[in-house]
Amino acid sequence: MGGVNIPSGALVVVAGPSGSGKSTWVSEQFRPDQIVSSDDLRGLVGIGPRDQRAGTDAFAVVALVVERRMKRGLTTVVDSLGLDAKLREKWISAARTHGRPVHAVAFDTPAKECRARNKSRERPVPSKVVTGQLERWPDVRAALDDEFDEVHAPSDVRLVPRTLHAHLPRATVQKEQPMPLRFGLILSSFTWPGETADIAPTLTAIARDAEAAGFSSLWVMDHVMQIPQVGREWEPMLESTSTLGFLAAATERIRLGTLVTGITYRNVAHVGKIAATLDVLSGGRAMCGLGAAWFDREHRAYGWAFPPLTERYELLEDALEVLPLLWGPGAPSFEGRQIAVAEAVCYPRPIQERIPILVGGSGEQRTLRLVARHADACNLFGEPDVIRHKVDVLHAHCATEGRDPADITITQLSSVLCAADEAGLAAALAARANDQVPPEIVGDQLNAGTIDDHTGRFRALADAGVQEVIVSLADIGTPGAVDRFAPVIHTFAANA
């Protein structure tokens, strides 16, 4: 019998007659803190787990616990008969209210086996009651398919992050009908094992491993202190332009860029000079990532001006217009919304006729309109349904601007923890889990999955219009991290 894949944070209701094996299976497949047992709650509000007079109060507590756990997004298994439609409706409603998946596990155990197990109990359920449950079971079983997202037969359970679970079947589609997709690697943290002196050799090894594995691009964030989404501000953070020069010397083919340069951090013409220099020294591998900047803490610390967002967008559009002039022929002047450049001059010229400009951000009214008007690529956030909508918005802007959407590369940013198989994944999650953060929560935080799990999600992203996924590997800096992800790249490599 195949395993059961259940999305983390789901409501799981087991259903079946007495003696069908529900509680035994639940105790084998889930931790005690994930289980809400009606029998246990009878014992809590009554005089013991068999106190049928306490049933109404016990199920009121079940409903309360389910609602609160669903609100927190915790995987919750209701261990009861599951035969009462009104009770199931309450639990399902609580899960739906908080946007949680609902799954059922149906125990189609033969009647003879149910009766035998029940008789062997210390305190068996009356035979007439079991008979009534068995008679009701076919109708209950038919109702489950209409009520729940999925109904499973009992088997070994694997909790899968919701971002991956929704697209598991797409892995088979990718194998049978391959679709190309490129991958980039972003280095957003340099908190690796070892001392500060070990950062440079580790960075070199990662870059060379990434190139050998088939990554198309290598990116660094443009920050001078660590951002709160990634770590603590006193953790190591390398200056981006120096790091890209170092990476250019360490590699031969992989493209290099910032994801993305905050437009307020440097003189815009200087940004163009930096990009051109990187392009020359890397042999034509530079990409220029730009964004409107957001981290005001960084600006205060370094004494940089942090103008209102409207002005930052105007500065970003000035950059999108002046940089191609800077990299092109002659020395034209430029008068923009926020800046003026007397001579857009840059020697040596970049090796590429035009360094590709990527704009980071998914804002539909301003950012994507600027992408349609000026950029060569954009970097989007979100899952396939969100990406599909953003791509539609971008294409609408392209129509308004008279731009061919095919001229713009769609990239997407993803956090990833990848393992070769379920055993390796379980070990990786267990190593990161603790009393406060259990393995399935770690998995959700890191988008953790096997090669097949990630293949399904990336195929869904490709179907949504993504041409390159830029991944942040949660285990980067540890031996074998790039190699563990390499099979995913190879799955999409044909004609990518």
DSSP run (H or E) holding 256 = strand 255-258
| One domain, residues 189 and 156 | no
The whole-number pLDDT of residue 53 equals 67
User: How far is residue 225 CA from its own chain's centroid?
Assistant: 24
| Domain endpoint, select from 135, 160, 185 | 160
pLDDT at 51 over 90: no
- Residue 265 near residue 243, CB atoms below 8 Å: no
Segment 138-162 mean pLDDT:
97
Q: Are residues 155 and 177 in the same domain?
A: no
Query: 348: cis peptide before it, omega within 30°?
Result: yes
What's the CA gap between 143 and 220, in Å, rounded?
A: 52
**Alpha carbons 19 and 117: distance in angstroms, whole number:** 5
Q: Where in the sequence is the domain holding 83, given as residue range(s)?
A: 4-160
Helix (H) or strand (E) holding 258: strand 255-258
Last residue of a domain, one of 160, 189, 218: 160
Residues 264, 231 share a domain: yes
How is residue 203 annotated by DSSP? H
Residue 231: partners with Cβ closer than 8 Å, 6 or more residues away: 189, 191
Same domain? 149 vs 243: no
**Average model confidence (pLDDT) across the chain:** 95
| φ/ψ bin of 382: left (φ > 0), alpha (ψ from -120 to 50), beta (otherwise) | left
Q: Which CATH number goes with the domain that contains 429?
A: 3.20.20.30
Which residue is listed with tokens 């020359």? 280
Q: 156 in a domain, yes or no?
A: yes
Mean pLDDT of 250-265: 97
What average pLDDT does range 359-388 have in this prediction?
96
Q: Are 125 and 256 found together in one domain? A: no
Q: Are 224 and 303 contacting, i.e. CB atoms less than 8 angstroms apart?
A: no
Residue 248 resides in a domain: yes
* 377, 235: one domain: yes
Rounded mean pLDDT, 385-392? 98
Residue 97 CA to residue 103 CA, distance in Å, equals 15
In a domain, 478, yes or no: yes
Residue 325 binned pLDDT confidence (cut-offs 50, 70, 90): very high
As a whole number of angstroms, the distance between CA 241 and CA 377 comes to 20
Per-residue pLDDT, 48: 64
What per-residue confidence (pLDDT) applies to 492? 97
DSSP assignment of 382-396: S-HHHHHHHHHHHHH
The stretch 218-240 carries a mean pLDDT of 96
**CB distance 174 to 491 below 8 Å:** yes
For residue 355, the model assigns a pLDDT of 98
Nearest-angstrom CA–CA distance, 464 and 76: 32
At a CB cut-off of 8 Å and minimum separation 6, what does 412 contact? 379, 380, 381, 382, 387, 461, 466, 468, 469, 470
- Residue 496 in any domain: the answer is no
Answer whether residue 371 shows pLDDT above 60.
Answer: yes
Query: At residue 496, does pLDDT exceed 60?
Result: no
Asked if residue 127 has pLDDT above 70, the reply is: yes
Q: What is the mean pLDDT of residues 393-417?
A: 97
The backbone torsions φ and ψ at residue 145, rounded to the nearest 5 degrees and listed phi first, read -60, -30
Say yes or no to pLDDT of 181 above 50: yes
Whether residues 371 and 279 fall in one domain: yes
Domain annotation covers residue 228? yes
CA distances for 405 relative to 371, 409, 428, 453, 463, angstroms: 10, 8, 40, 30, 16
Give the C-alpha distances (Å, rounded to integers) separating 189 from 186, 266, 412, 481: 9, 22, 19, 14
Same domain for 223 and 318?
yes
Both 289 and 388 in one domain: the answer is yes
Q: pLDDT at position 70, please?
A: 97
pLDDT at 481: 95
DSSP per-residue codes, 60-108: HHHHHHHHHHHHHT--EEEES----HHHHHHHHHHHHHTT--EEEEE--
For 269-308, give the DSSP string.
Answer: HHHHHHHHHHHHHHTS-B-EEEE----HHHHHHHT-----
Rg (C-alpha) for the chain, rounded Å, is: 28
* Domains contained in the chain, number: 2
> Per the domain annotation, does 271 fall within a domain?
yes
Query: Which of 160, 189, 221 is at the close of a domain?
Result: 160
Question: Between helices 55-72 and 38-45, what is the axis angle to 10°?
Answer: 120
Query: Residue 165: inside a domain, yes or no?
Result: no
- Kindly tell me if the per-residue pLDDT of 1 is higher than 50: no
Phi, psi torsion values for 298, nearest 5 degrees: -65, -40
Whether 472 maps to a domain, the answer reads: yes
Q: Is residue 174 classed exposed, middle or buried when 0-12, 13-18 and 19+ CB atoms within 10 A define those classes? A: buried
* pLDDT at 122 exceeding the cut of 60: yes
pLDDT of residue 43: 73
Residues 349 and 441 in one domain: yes
Same domain, 310 and 400: yes
Question: Mean pLDDT over residues 342-362, rounded?
Answer: 95
User: CB within 8 A of 233, min separation 6: which ones?
Assistant: 225, 226, 297
The partner residues of 340 in beta bridges, in order of sequence, read 335
Rounded mean pLDDT of 447-466?
98
Q: What is the CATH number of the domain that holds 71?
A: 3.40.50.300
pLDDT band at 443 (very low <50, low <70, confident <90, very high): very high
Residues 133 and 178 in one domain: no
